[in-house]
Amino acid sequence: MSQNVARGRCVSIAAGVIYSFCIVNILVALGWILVPQSVLEGHSFFVPENNFSSCFSAVILLSASIIGIHGAYKRDPTSLKLFATVFTIYALIAGVAAYKRYSEHDVDVAHFVATMTRTETTYKWYQGNESANHQATNRWDNLQLALRCCGLKGRSDWDQFRPAQFADDVLPESCCSSLSLATSADGRCHQESAFKMGCLTEYNKILGTVVVGLIIEMIIRVTAVMLALGIAKSAITPPNCHTPTKS
């Protein structure tokens, strides 16, 4: 009897973990579906995912999570196995993506450096609407503001591209926070208040974080799959019943 009680508690704990896992996935899926793609693009300097593939993936994630909640609540082996199958696929995708990111790190960095170096020469310094509508300027401004960095390797990178009419310590507007610009005497970004790190350093940190995040995602999904299969097995296997024998 005590074994059955312990087994029941373990199953309940596993179900609780699956509930939490599925709720988080539902929120993520709803975010992919409901948040406009323009908003996602505006908060990332990476190339955004295709909108259709994101929505399709979100629908699959949402459906599988609902099935997982139902299976864990009802202790339904069929639902739990379907849930496990879908998230095994997701775990494999995360693993492949992590390996791909890791193996292509040098290529990603080289492409990033080449792209940003090419656009430094055409950056528009404090030219109002002309700066706002200029592709190279937008690329640098989005990058520096998003990563809170300045220049590719550091602030001194901008020295060779600074127009002659600006003081030697003036940097692009996006090298400073909005607060620093608001308190600047001339409304421009100066070296003493600019972001200290180079964008290449911050970009490398992001690439590493993405790989680690994908590995953690894979581990979490595999854990959820194992718990789901464990609940399914317990639902199929009858509890141990000890019938007292007559002496």
For residues 135-156, average pLDDT:
93
pLDDT digit string (tens) for 199-232?
A: 999 999 999 998 898 899 899 999 999 999 999 9
Confidence at 78, pLDDT banded by 50, 70, 90: very high
At residue 189, φ and ψ (nearest 5 deg) are -90, 130
Record the tokens describing residue 223, joined without a space. Answer: 């854990």
Nearest of 113, 142, 122 to residue 200 by alpha carbon: 113
Break the chain into its structural domains and give their ranges: 2-104+223-236, 105-201
Residue/partner pairs of 1-4 with CB below 8 Å, 24 or more apart: 1/242, 3/240, 4/239, 4/240
Q: Which are the contacts of 156, defined by CB distance < 8 A and separation ≥ 6?
A: none
Record the tokens describing residue 71, joined without a space. Answer: 């299976």
User: What is the Cα–Cα distance from 167 to 85, expressed in whole angstroms?
Assistant: 62
User: Crossing angle of helices 135-147/105-120, nearest 10°?
Assistant: 120
Residue 171 β-bridge partners: 189
Position 44 scores a pLDDT of 45
Residue 146 has pLDDT above 50, yes or no: yes
105-201: in CATH 3.10.450:
no
Confidence at 45, pLDDT banded by 50, 70, 90: very low
